[in-house]
Structure 1
Amino acid sequence: MSYSCFSKAPFTAKLGLVVIIGVFCTALFAPLIAPYGQAEVVGDEFMPWSASNILGTDSIGRDILSRLIFGARNSVGMAVITTILAFIIGSVLGIFAAVLRPFYDQLISRVVEVFMAIPSLIFQLLLLAAFGVSFLNIVLIIAFVDSTRVFRLVRAVSIDIVQLDFIEAARLRGEGLFYLVFKEVLPNAAGPMIVEFGVRFCYVFLSIAALSFLGVGIQPPYADWGSMVRENAALIGYGDITPLIPAGAIALLTVAVNFVVDWRLRIMSAARD
């Protein structure tokens, strides 16, 4: 992305990029930024905001600001890894289904539709109950469930591409399957896939936060924005806005990513016109 392209971007896109860069820098340098460790007990429970504890302490005396900073690393880091894995699974299946039509396309599509018929959150809770709660299981289960959505979009885009003349010309030249997939279809499907990656990241990020809020996501002592809302929810009854801060961080990052995705969609629409 060139500087001239960024300078012409709407204010919402610029704001979104600033928020995204800020969150990712916070996640990357969390140990250097946070005043305390994410599991370190620094005082009594639910201490008010002060100079030593800017956002107070939680239910067992841990510094909320430090946990908020480490929560960016844990929540965003897991969401990025999960989204990448979901995209690898869904994109590979989607492109190969489009290229290998019709038998493999119908077979994979029918299996995917069965999994998509189950509500995502219920399906994730069911699989976590069956396989247990761990970092690896959370990543694999959410990636598996979300890859079905990636498959549908990539398949639809790829089907339109494989019907074009240059694909038929490549087939007539005797090009193999992997050439068609990686040299012809994938480069032409990259634009919509980049946009979908941002959308999928938001869904994965919110899924991780929801699971943590329910107590089956990232487990203590690791900090997570979703679990921080649940752990400090009792403060709302006393007029303390502290539980709203991690909730606001979740909303802010989600909106920021959507701002950038919307800008990317406008660029793609202008290019087609």
Structure 2
Amino acid sequence: MLGGWPDQAMSRTVDLFMALPPLILALLALSVTGTSLVTLTLVAAFLAALRVFRLSRALGLDLATRDFVDIARLRGEGTLRIAACEILPNAAGPLIAEAGLRFVFAFLFVASLSFLGLGVQPPMADWGGMVRENAGALNYGGIAPLVPAAAIALLAISVNLLGDRAAGGRTGR
């Protein structure tokens, strides 16, 4: 189908960025542009998009070699119709499950940056910042930092369960 040098160029660019640790990329971007909410969102979205690109490409390449795609080609369907009617519905399940994972990883990433003092800045609230502000209570047996940490864990589990449920049985033919 499609591919060639544009596919190779995008794949190598994504591989280059994925070879660097996400925290280092985020610290670099935040040091250059500042710690605004827009910057945090864009950095988290960029880092998540790298993984989604790799998964989407792998799913597309795998599904493009299946028999039902060959049958659609033999019926005379065009590339866009095959992508929309054959490949996308079969890739939907893994992509929905991946969307849940990417949301959780982006949320944890922003929370960890907030814990380090580089994420969401006061007066806006963030669970990572709440853990940082109350970390001293652990020395005295307080549970204050455990409450936002438990909320982060509960959110992560809930979103993953919802993503798996929404993906349902749509994990390919």
Name the TM tier (shorter chain): 0.7 to 0.9
Counterpart of 1:150 in structure 2 is 52
1:227 to 107, 129, 132: 129
Measured at CA, do residues 262 and 189 of structure 1 come closer, stay the same or move farther in structure 2, by a change above 3 Å?
Answer: closer
Q: Kindly provide the amino acid, as one letter, of the partner of residue 108 in structure 2.
A: L
2:101 to 199, 207, 211: 199
Q: Kindly provide the amino acid, as one letter, of the partner of residue 51 in structure 2.
A: R
1:123 to 4, 25, 28: 25
Counterpart of 1:133 in structure 2 is 35
Q: Tell me, yes or no, if structure 1 residue 240 matches structure 2 residue 142.
A: yes
The separation in 2 between residues aligned to 1:224 and 1:263, in whole angstroms, is: 27
Q: Kindly provide the amino acid, as one letter, of the partner of residue 203 in structure 1.
A: F
Counterpart of 2:63 in structure 1 is 161
- Alignment deviations for residues 93-117 of structure 1 (CA, whole Å, 9 cap, x no partner): xxxxxx5213222111111100000
- Alignment deviations for residues 253-273 of structure 1 (CA, whole Å, 9 cap, x no partner): 21333345566778457x86x
- Alignment deviations for residues 76-125 of structure 1 (CA, whole Å, 9 cap, x no partner): xxxxxxxxxxxxxxxxxxxxxxx521322211111110000001111111
**Shift of residue 160 of structure 1?**
1.2
Gaps of 5+ in 1: 1-98
Bigger Cα Rg: 1
Q: Kindly provide the amino acid, as one letter, of the partner of residue 123 in structure 1.
A: L
Counterpart of 1:71 in structure 2 is none
**Shift of residue 221 of structure 1?**
0.5
Partner of 1:216, secondary structure, is: coil
Q: Equivalent residues in 2 for 1:79-118 (5 A)?
A: 100-118=2-20
Q: Equivalent residues in 2 for 1:10-21 (5 A)?
A: none
**Shift of residue 224 of structure 1?**
0.6
**Shift of residue 169 of structure 1?**
5.1
The separation in 1 between residues aligned to 2:27 and 2:38, in whole angstroms, is: 15
The separation in 2 between residues aligned to 1:144 and 1:253, in whole angstroms, is: 22
The separation in 2 between residues aligned to 1:129 and 1:214, in whole angstroms, is: 13
- Alignment deviations for residues 221-268 of structure 1 (CA, whole Å, 9 cap, x no partner): 011100001112222222221111101111122133334556677845
The separation in 2 between residues aligned to 1:111 and 1:193, in whole angstroms, is: 21
Counterpart of 1:217 in structure 2 is 119
Measured at CA, do residues 118 and 189 of structure 1 come closer, stay the same or move farther in structure 2, by a change above 3 Å?
Answer: same
The separation in 2 between residues aligned to 1:116 and 1:266, in whole angstroms, is: 29
Partner of 2:39, secondary structure, is: helix
Aligned CA-pair RMSD: 2.5
**Shift of residue 164 of structure 1?**
2.8
The separation in 2 between residues aligned to 1:105 and 1:115, in whole angstroms, is: 16
The separation in 2 between residues aligned to 1:245 and 1:204, in whole angstroms, is: 20
Partner of 2:30, secondary structure, is: helix
Identity across the alignment (%): 49
